[in-house]
Amino acid sequence: MRMYGEEHPNQQILSRIATNDGHGENSSYFDGWKAYENDPFHLTGNPKGVIQMGLAENQLSLDLIQDWMKKNPQASICTEEGVSEFKAIANFQDYHGLRAFRKAIAQFMEKVRGGRARFDPDRIVMSGGATGAQETIAFCLADPGEAFLIPTPYYPGFDRDFRWRTGVQLLPIHCHSSNKFKITHAALETAYRKAQNSHIRVKGVLVTNPSNPLGTTMDRETLRTLLSFVNEKRIHLVCDEIFSGTVFDKPCYVSVSEVIEDDPYCDRDLIHIAYSLSKDLGVPGFRVGVIYSYNDAVVCCARKMSSFGLVSSQTQHLLASMLGDEEFTTSFLATSRRRLCRRRRVFTEGLKRVGIHCLDGNAGLFCWMDLRPLLKEATVEAELRLWRVIINDVKLNISPGSSFHCSEPGWFRVCFANMDDKAMEIALMRIKIFVYRENDAAVPAKNKRRWDETLRLSLPRRFEDLTIMTPHLMSPHSPLVQAAT
Amino acid sequence: MNQKLLLSRKAACNVHGQDSSYFLGWQEFEKNPYDPITNPGGMIQMGLAENQLSFDLIESWLHSHPDAAGFKKDGALIFRELALFQDYHGLPAFKSALAKFMGEVRGNRVTFEPSKLVLTAGATSANETLMFCLAEPGEAFLLPTPYYPGFDRDLKWRTGAEIVPIHCSSSNGFRVTKVALEAAHRHAQKRGLRVKGVLVTNPSNPLGTTMTRQELDTLIDFVLAKDVHLISDEIYSGTSFDSPEFVSIAEAIKDRDDVAHRVHIVCSLSKDLGLPGFRVGAIYSGNDAVVSAATKMSSFGLISSQTQYLLAALLSDDEFTRKYILENRRRIKERHDLLVEGLRRIGIRCLDSNAGLFCWVDMRHLLNSNTFKGEMELWRKIVYQVGLNISPGSSCHCDEPGWFRVCFANMSEHTLNLSMQRLKNFVDSGEHRSTHDSGHRSPRRQFLAKWVLRLSALPAAVTA
């Protein structure tokens, strides 16, 4: 493909991977992010700016971590108290990772699951965040052209993480609001058969539990359905449990690690977990990803591949200490969950007061908001029109369901844990005003014109072709809503 | 169920290269590591190209800069900002400091623009990322032999790219010639491989030499003529300790607009600063499309924000970097000279070198036969009888048997002297001529020669 040679005579020919859209950032959905960057909300500096509600970050409990660090200077290799470890740590590049770090991670994962599952530190493999974990798992389990099935709606970043450089495909398992988007055996079989009819070899199923974007946890029955499906087909099950520590309400979280302990017939060689500290602890900057596989060959291979994205030994050392502090982790998890629960309640109740409903959720850093009643028609085009109005007029950057491959138009993911109470209040106020305005506009027909005037830019004709989303859903450029704390 | 069928081809193959002798030696070391007090008869690790000579300089900087430790900027806590910072463009202060440091290491004869830098999780990730950007599966890069064994994994494993060797020989100090380049290119074509570029390591691992200006010009002419890329892995740039002065590809292409977009430099702080644990690598490219694609790919291996922050502070300190670069070089030279002299006394020569953390040692005269089998026999004796983990040239894809890479910067002076003593006794005793293959016995039950144990029982000097 000599495309570059013709357009840019001085450009060297790059690979297809380097020049295709597999990274997912070239999309009209960029507008949401751009709108925010051009006009970011700030309580005092820019109170009318765009509020960032498209970033699934947990900013509610960083104070707890900061306090711990102040009280534990020895955990840093740069302080007086900790510098004696500097040489050994700075020199440590063993891809097995620091033993103390792996032990602490295993311990933390057990605690997050209430002690209902055990994790072996020797199966903990590092990766460059969950991003790196997913890519590595795909490299280990599938060849180019092979596929994994994935329930919709799903995190847009998977299109890049699982597919871009690996050449592996992601095929949807369609889920619907009629049963709260639960995965059914029928949907699994349909997706599998469709792949077979297209002569695509399916190597596994990729699920996120708790779900992004739904904010729900999987029930035991669904997990069992999945396990029996993958065992029957002899394919893998990859569970992304990155939000496992953000379960703040009933029903109680059930991890795949628990279910397999009760299931002697499950072939453990098929089961793999991806994890990270980015959401539970709120430290995405530290790039701590984990692959936990029950398959020895995968552990071995993933560990070798981890050379491409090891966790900084400075960070391993810090976290070994922090997560090894049981008193701290117990209290952190409890407080963090409480704050998330409260924040979600404030948000959903505020929405309910103006007649907007969210899918019942008990986890995650976001709500799955139902704006179908506001759509003129149940189409993706209508959803995107509404979306642009919300960004440009209401000044909230939220994420349209189509970017998550949702098969029903009208759903939006709205993040609530990346701002302070004041910003949340303002966001709710804006939504209230918008809804009242829409209700007023719905009555006199002549006001319908106002909608169309706010239309901007060309809309994608076939959204299925687009590999997605505002870049910050995948790899944020600048992180923060500059709200005053 | 067949395990291999369950996984990908990549998982089942051995392109990761970890079955090679380079890594096997490490494994043996791990089973029986030398310690001056607890295990004086153990194996001495001379296969690890680490720089452990100058940590004290960094430690003392840390003592006088508590802010970098406490995540404080002008007194205000910035922990929160750092914890949340995952922008793949990198911390601006860190990129500026790194670009400045790169210039300083090259004597400020060139400057680097932060906007052309892409941060990666170590040079391992940088090299792989460049392959993903520049080559399709099945396409090839030419590499001069001998080369770093890790390239087999980093460049080929997950990318599907191929390496075709540019054969270099001791007859001219292993220099890269136009003839050798052309031969490699022809050979690739005969194999039906499309060549996308050349990758060189300068200063060289394992040779410890820097490329001459003529070599660099030869390379530039070649990549222009063939319309391909040039990757220069310069991770050892800060370890050049002697004349001739290190000339970076950046200098050689200065003011050459016709070539800048095909040249990509790989850097790291693992060797120069001795911080391999921090996973700090970078790609520097004159090609905007490469910078753009590589930046997106860096999502798979970003540098921890707390590490970026610490190093931004460290490297921004001009006084520190100036002193560090000089003192670090001085110590490397001193240690290098110790090894070279120690070997000379045993009648063993090294390739003349002016950089790196190792010597390229000529043991051809100790081989029983001038073959790779002979080399492996000698290697096994040195590993299992003498207790030194050194790297055989074949693991570096050297064409001539009998060369070994021996590292000198990852141990104390005392340990280095001890290793020379052991080797001397081995050579003097004529053991290398024995045809008894000692490699089959389990090293744990292996008794090292009595003289090794006797030597090791000598009172240990204070380790550096």
- The tally of CA atoms less than 13 A away on the side-chain side of residue B206 is 32
B412 touching A (Cβ < 8 Å) = no
- Of all residues in chain B, the percent with pLDDT exceeding 70 is 89
Residue A388 has pLDDT above 60, yes or no: yes
Residue B460 has pLDDT above 70, yes or no: no
Q: Contact A213/A413 with Cβ under 8 angstroms? A: yes
| B80/A4 CB distance under 8 A | no
Across chain A, mean pLDDT equals 89
- The alpha carbon of residue A474 is apart from the nearest alpha carbon of chain B, in Å, by 9
Cα angle value B309/A278/A321 (rounded, 5°): 70
Torsion, CA A42, CA A43, CA A49, CA A53, rounded to 10: 80
Sheet order of strands, A399-400 included? A357-358, A366-370, A411-415, A399-400
- Which of these, A93, A260, A242, lies nearest to A155 by C-alpha position? A242
B63 touching A (Cβ < 8 Å) = yes
Using 50, 70 and 90 to split pLDDT, how confident is the model at B386? Answer: very high
- Chain B segment 72-101 residues within 8 A of A by beta carbon are 77, 79-89
Instruction: List the structure tokens of B371.
Output: 């073959």
| Start-to-end CA span in chain A (Å) | 51
The pLDDT of residue B453: 54
**What percentage of chain B's residues is helix, strand, coil (to nearest 5)?**
50, 15, 40
- Chain B segment 316-335 residues within 8 A of A by beta carbon are none
- Segment A134-168, tens digit of pLDDT: 999 999 999 999 999 999 999 999 999 999 999 99
The pLDDT of residue A480: 33
Q: Contact B282/B119 with Cβ under 8 angstroms? A: yes
Q: Tell me how many helices (H) and strands (E) chain B has.
A: 18, 15
Cis peptide before A284 (omega within 30 of 0): no
Q: Contact A126/A290 with Cβ under 8 angstroms? A: yes
- Among B6, B85, B291, most A C-beta atoms within 10 A, so best to mutate, is B6
- The alpha carbon of residue A64 is apart from the nearest alpha carbon of chain B, in Å, by 11
Residue B76 has pLDDT above 80, yes or no: no
Residue A35 has pLDDT above 90, yes or no: no
Residue A204 has pLDDT above 90, yes or no: yes
- Segment A326-364, tens digit of pLDDT: 999 999 999 999 999 999 999 999 999 999 999 999 999
- Of all residues in chain B, the percent with pLDDT exceeding 90 is 81
The pLDDT of residue A467: 35
Instruction: List the structure tokens of B44.
Output: 């001495």
Instruction: List the structure tokens of A413.
Output: 């993911």
| B300/A297 CB distance under 8 A | no
Identity of the residue in A57, A129, A165 whose CB atom sits nearest the CB atom of B302: A129
- Among A30, A230, A235, A312, most B C-beta atoms within 10 A, so best to mutate, is A312
Using 50, 70 and 90 to split pLDDT, how confident is the model at A27? Answer: low
Cis peptide before A47 (omega within 30 of 0): no
Q: Point out the catalytic residue in the list A279, A292, A294, A391.
A: A279
* B196: chain A residues, CB-CB within 8 Å: 13
- Of all residues in chain A, the percent with pLDDT exceeding 70 is 87
- Would you put residue B90 in left (φ > 0), alpha (ψ -120 to 50) or beta? left
| A285/B86 CB distance under 8 A | yes
* B302: chain A residues, CB-CB within 8 Å: 128-129, 287
- Give the whole-angstrom CA distance, residue B237 versus residue B332: 13
| B87/A91 CB distance under 8 A | no
The pLDDT of residue A438: 81
Residue B449 has pLDDT above 70, yes or no: no
Q: Contact B289/A19 with Cβ under 8 angstroms? A: yes
Q: Contact B394/B403 with Cβ under 8 angstroms? A: no
Check residue A285 and report its DSSP letter: G
Report CA B409 to chain centroid distance, whole Å: 12
- Segment B313-369, tens digit of pLDDT: 999 999 999 999 999 999 999 999 999 999 999 999 999 999 999 999 999 999 999
Q: In the predicted model, what is the mean pLDDT of residues B75-96?
A: 90
The pLDDT of residue B377: 95
Cis peptide before B276 (omega within 30 of 0): no
Instruction: List the structure tokens of A73.
Output: 């200077």
- Give the whole-angstrom CA distance, residue B396 versus residue B207: 10
Identity of the residue in A132, A307, A315 whose CB atom sits nearest the CB atom of B300: A132
Instruction: Provide the 3-class DSSP secondary structure of residue A67.
Output: helix
| A15/B133 CB distance under 8 A | yes
Longest dimension (CA), chain B: 69
Residue A457 has pLDDT above 50, yes or no: no
Our answer to whether residue B226 is catalytic in this structure is no
A357 φ, ψ to 5°?
-110, 150
- Of all residues in chain A, the percent with pLDDT exceeding 90 is 81
- Would you put residue B279 in left (φ > 0), alpha (ψ -120 to 50) or beta? left
Q: Rg of chain A over CA atoms, in angstroms?
A: 23
Place of tokens 């993911």: A413
Which is more confidently placed, A8 or B201? B201
A267 touching B (Cβ < 8 Å) = yes
Cα angle value B15/A308/A30 (rounded, 5°): 125
B327 φ, ψ to 5°?
-65, -40
- Give the whole-angstrom CA distance, residue A205 versus residue A208: 10
Lowest mean pLDDT segment, chosen from A193-202, B166-175, B450-459: B450-459
Our answer to whether residue A279 is catalytic in this structure is yes
A304 touching B (Cβ < 8 Å) = yes
Place of tokens 């006088």: B64
> Parallel, antiparallel, or unpaired: how do β-strands A411-415 and A399-400 relate?
antiparallel
Our answer to whether residue A155 is catalytic in this structure is yes
- Segment A99-124, tens digit of pLDDT: 999 999 999 999 999 999 999 999 99
Lowest mean pLDDT segment, chosen from A14-23, B170-179, B309-318: A14-23
* A78: chain B residues, CB-CB within 8 Å: 62, 68-69, 310
Please give the residue of chain B at the shortest CA–CA distance from A55. B84
B70 touching A (Cβ < 8 Å) = yes
Check residue A363 and report its DSSP letter: S
| A309/B10 CB distance under 8 A | no
* B276: chain A residues, CB-CB within 8 Å: 90-93
User: Does an H or E element contain A368, and which?
Assistant: strand A366-370
Instruction: List the structure tokens of B165.
Output: 């060797």
| B8/A298 CB distance under 8 A | no
In single-letter form, the type of residue at position A1 comes to M
| A311/B124 CB distance under 8 A | no
* B257: chain A residues, CB-CB within 8 Å: 10
Lowest mean pLDDT segment, chosen from A104-108, A274-278, B448-452: B448-452
Strand partners for B268: B281
- The alpha carbon of residue A475 is apart from the nearest alpha carbon of chain B, in Å, by 7
Q: Contact B364/B370 with Cβ under 8 angstroms? A: yes
- Give the whole-angstrom CA distance, residue A151 versus residue A161: 16
| B158/A480 CB distance under 8 A | no
- Give the whole-angstrom CA distance, residue B89 versus residue B120: 10
- Give the whole-angstrom CA distance, residue A270 versus residue A235: 7
B318-344 and B55-63 are packed helices; what angle lies between their axes, rounded to 10 degrees?
A: 160
- Chain B segment 106-145 residues within 8 A of A by beta carbon are 121-122, 124-125, 128, 132-137
Using 50, 70 and 90 to split pLDDT, how confident is the model at B456? Answer: low
Torsion over CA: A79, A81, A83, A88 (sign):
negative
Please give the residue of chain B at the shortest CA–CA distance from A83. B59
- Give the whole-angstrom CA distance, residue A460 versus residue A467: 11
Residue B451 has pLDDT above 80, yes or no: no
Instruction: Provide the 3-class DSSP secondary structure of residue B130.
Output: helix
The pLDDT of residue A33: 78
A20 touching B (Cβ < 8 Å) = no
Instruction: Write out the E strands in B202-307.
Output: 229-233, 263-268, 281-285
Report CA A315 to chain centroid distance, whole Å: 22
Instruction: List the structure tokens of A163.
Output: 């597919």
The pLDDT of residue B18: 64
Q: Point out the catalytic residue in the list A29, A36, A154, A155.
A: A155
- Segment A460-476, tens digit of pLDDT: 333 333 333 333 333 33
A227 touching B (Cβ < 8 Å) = no
Residue A248, judged by CB atoms within 10 A of its CB (0-12, 13-18, 19+), counts as buried
- Give the whole-angstrom CA distance, residue B250 versus residue B264: 9
Q: Contact B353/B209 with Cβ under 8 angstroms? A: yes
pTM here? 0.91
Q: In the predicted model, what is the mean pLDDT of residues B215-232?
A: 97
Residue B390 has pLDDT above 50, yes or no: yes
DSSP B2-13: -HHHHS-HHHHS
Residue A194 has pLDDT above 50, yes or no: yes
In single-letter form, the type of residue at position B87 comes to D
Q: In the predicted model, what is the mean pLDDT of residues B182-193?
A: 98
| A234/B1 CB distance under 8 A | yes
Torsion over CA: A382, A383, A389, A392 (sign):
negative
- Give the whole-angstrom CA distance, residue B340 versus residue A146: 54
- Among A93, A126, A272, A281, most B C-beta atoms within 10 A, so best to mutate, is A93
Q: In the predicted model, what is the mean pLDDT of residues B140-158?
A: 97
B447 touching A (Cβ < 8 Å) = no
Instruction: List the structure tokens of A336.
Output: 């963090």
- Chain B segment 275-294 residues within 8 A of A by beta carbon are 275-279, 287, 289-290, 293-294
| A139/B8 CB distance under 8 A | yes
Please give the residue of chain B at the shortest CA–CA distance from A20. B293
The pLDDT of residue B444: 43
- Among A3, A4, A12, most B C-beta atoms within 10 A, so best to mutate, is A12
- Segment B88-100, tens digit of pLDDT: 999 999 999 999 9
Our answer to whether residue B236 is catalytic in this structure is no
| B10/A301 CB distance under 8 A | yes
Q: In the predicted model, what is the mean pLDDT of residues A247-254?
A: 97
Residue A429 has pLDDT above 80, yes or no: yes
- Give the whole-angstrom CA distance, residue A173 versus residue A184: 9
CB atoms inside a 10 Å sphere around CB B213? 11
Cis peptide before A144 (omega within 30 of 0): no
